[in-house]
């Protein structure tokens, strides 16, 4: 597909506007006045290849950069009450799916938070809930689980391996102790290495290691130190994340180290340049060592077992997602729904307490309806942010239109910036290396005016 533009190259943009891990973002969700019944929402949806996501909103610590829906620790009995709530929710959702046609789950994931915050016995219960309540066969589908260095214990990993986990993802962020402290992530490299050893001993087929670049004081040399330390474990996957300092997080509360708008702008520009530089160093380092780039963040070892992969970047937001837990999203073709969203710890605790006290999970409470335009935007965004790109025929078969006709201004703007691959085969819309590097500017450029307005009006809490 050829996109042309007769306009001059536009002015430079900030490369790190927002990580688009879901569209529309939860900050565009609102309480649903009609509180639709789940049974009616799922009645006409395909149910032969659903994805199942279970959310555990607990962590032993909260990193300085984290804005995920999670709380630190759990008072006595809270994890039990939370699992009880998950059980009630699972019963309601499975009943809503009905038995008029076969219900089959094609993939499953446990995320958070940190699912391995749970004890080994609680993880057994979590797996039982997925299988006995929802009907997912965890031993027959890809199952991805997130963990942390301090909670990746041998007994927990043994449960996960026995119950069919095919992929485990561990947030390391940095193997350099000083950088971990700068990111407000208390850990020691020796403990990280010990956890990785236990994961490999558990023989879970796919290991993913998360690393972060752009940490205060990080250099190209220290970044390569972390990359090489990770590569020593031959992980099947690596995710390289740029650091963000988001509102209400620990790093944001520390405030800027400079005063005045001009000084802040200069610091921001320098930080953007540092992250772009470190991204390129990391990308080139992995490509030279047998990894292929799947998206801006995701790299996969070329000889990794494909049949046991977890979901690719952005695949967590495909239609047909069942999310259980107070931080999980569910996706039908017409509605994305969840529970209330917060970042501030007091608000998160309140939402979790409300979830554990809920008896009736038969209706959607908070969400956003997805019309035809939003569905097109979402499909384009999901596909374009993957290194493989978007086959235009696939888009045309789904929507009956052409992406160039649906989004002429956006695609022309990307072309003018050099973000589209002009060497891509006919019929393939694909990002250039520069486009992939600027994914966090490109993704938000595809947001609809309505979603932008809703996100801007969201009151942070």
Kindly report, residue by residue over 87-100, the tens digit of the pLDDT.
999 999 999 999 98
- pLDDT score at 110: 97
- pLDDT score at 319: 73
- 44 — pLDDT class (breaks 50, 70, 90): very high
Q: State how far the Cα of 444 lies from the Cα of 18, in Å rounded to an integer.
A: 7
> What would the two tokens of residue 403 be?
């992406």
- pLDDT score at 250: 56
Q: Between 24 and 70, where is the model more confident?
A: 24
Digit-coded pLDDT (tens) for 141-172: 999 999 999 999 999 999 999 999 999 999 99
Q: In this model, does residue 6 exceed pLDDT 70?
A: no
Check whether the bond before 113 is cis (ω within 30° of 0).
Answer: yes
Digit-coded pLDDT (tens) for 217-238: 999 999 999 999 999 999 999 9
- pLDDT score at 30: 96
Calculate the CA dihedral of residues 116, 119, 125, 130 and round it to 10 degrees: 0
Across all residues in the chain, what is the average pLDDT? Answer: 91
* 243 within 8 A of 212, measured Cβ to Cβ: yes
Mean pLDDT is lowest, of 79-83, 101-105, 222-226, 431-435, for 101-105
Beta bridge partners, 105, equal 50
**Distance (Å) of CA 99 to CA 39, 87, 103, 136, 441:** 11, 19, 7, 14, 44
Q: In this model, does residue 114 exceed pLDDT 90?
A: yes
Rg over alpha carbons for the chain, rounded to the nearest Å, is: 22
* 420 within 8 A of 385, measured Cβ to Cβ: no
Q: Backbone dihedral region of 340: left (phi > 0), alpha (psi from -120 to 50 degrees) or beta?
A: beta
* 206 within 8 A of 308, measured Cβ to Cβ: yes
The whole-number average pLDDT for the span 130-140 is: 97
- pLDDT score at 300: 97
- 308 — pLDDT class (breaks 50, 70, 90): low
Q: In this model, does residue 428 exceed pLDDT 80?
A: yes
- pLDDT score at 260: 62
Q: In this model, does residue 311 exceed pLDDT 60?
A: no
Q: In this model, does residue 316 exceed pLDDT 60?
A: no
Q: In this model, does residue 317 exceed pLDDT 50?
A: no
Digit-coded pLDDT (tens) for 346-405: 898 999 999 999 999 999 999 999 999 999 999 999 999 999 999 999 999 999 999 999
Task: Report the run of H or E that residue 195 belongs to, with start and end.
Answer: helix 189-201
Q: Between 51 and 246, where is the model more confident?
A: 51
Q: In this model, does residue 280 exceed pLDDT 60?
A: yes
């Amino acid at each position: 597909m050829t996109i042309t533009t007769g306009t001059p190259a536009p002015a430079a943009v900030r490369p790190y506007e927002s990580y688009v891990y879901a569209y529309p973002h939860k900050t565009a969700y609102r309480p649903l006045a009609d509180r639709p019944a789940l049974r009616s929402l799922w009645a006409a949806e395909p149910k032969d290849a659903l994805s199942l996501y279970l959310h555990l909103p607990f962590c032993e610590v909260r990193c300085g950069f984290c804005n995920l829906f999670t709380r630190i620790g759990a008072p006595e009995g809270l994890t039990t009450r939370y699992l009880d709530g998950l059980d009630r929710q699972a019963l309601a959702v499975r009943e809503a799916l009905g038995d008029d046609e076969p219900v089959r789950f094609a993939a499953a994931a446990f995320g958070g938070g940190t699912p391995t915050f749970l004890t080994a016995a609680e993880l057994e219960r979590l797996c039982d809930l997925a299988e006995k309540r929802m009907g997912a066969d965890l031993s027959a589908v890809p199952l991805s689980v997130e963990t942390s260095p301090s909670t990746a214990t041998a007994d927990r990993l043994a449960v996960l391996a026995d119950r069919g986990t095919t992929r485990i993802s561990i947030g390391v962020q940095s193997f350099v102790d000083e950088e971990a402290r700068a990111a407000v992530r208390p850990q020691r490299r020796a403990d990280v290495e010990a956890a990785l050893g236990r994961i490999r001993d558990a023989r879970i087929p796919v290991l993913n290691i998360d690393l972060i670049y752009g940490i205060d004081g990080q250099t190209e040399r220290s970044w390569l130190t972390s990359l090489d330390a990770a590569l020593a474990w031959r992980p099947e996957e690596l995710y390289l994340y740029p650091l963000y300092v988001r509102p209400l997080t620990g790093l944001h509360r520390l405030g800027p180290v400079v005063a005045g708008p001009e000084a802040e702008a200069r610091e921001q520009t320098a930080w953007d340049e540092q992250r772009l530089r470190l991204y390129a160093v990391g990308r080139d380092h992995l490509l030279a060592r047998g990894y292929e780039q799947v998206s801006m963040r995701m790299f996969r070892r070329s000889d990794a077992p494909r049949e046991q992969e977890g979901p690719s970047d952005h695949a967590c937001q495909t239609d047909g997602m069942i999310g259980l837990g107070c931080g999980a999203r569910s996706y039908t073709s017409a509605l994305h729904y969840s529970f209330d969203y917060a970042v501030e710890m007091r608000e998160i605790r309140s939402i979790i307490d409300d979830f554990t006290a809920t008896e009736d999970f038969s209706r959607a409470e908070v969400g956003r309806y997805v019309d035809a335009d939003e569905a097109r935007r979402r499909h384009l965004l999901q596909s374009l942010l993957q290194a493989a790109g978007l086959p235009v025929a696939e888009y045309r078969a789904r929507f009956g239109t052409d992406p160039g006709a649906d989004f002429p201004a956006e695609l022309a703007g990307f072309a003018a910036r050099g973000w589209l691959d002009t060497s891509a085969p006919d019929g393939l819309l694909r990002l250039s290396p520069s486009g992939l590097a600027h994914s966090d500017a490109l993704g938000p450029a595809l947001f609809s005016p309505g979603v932008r307005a809703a996100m801007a009006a969201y009151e942070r809490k």
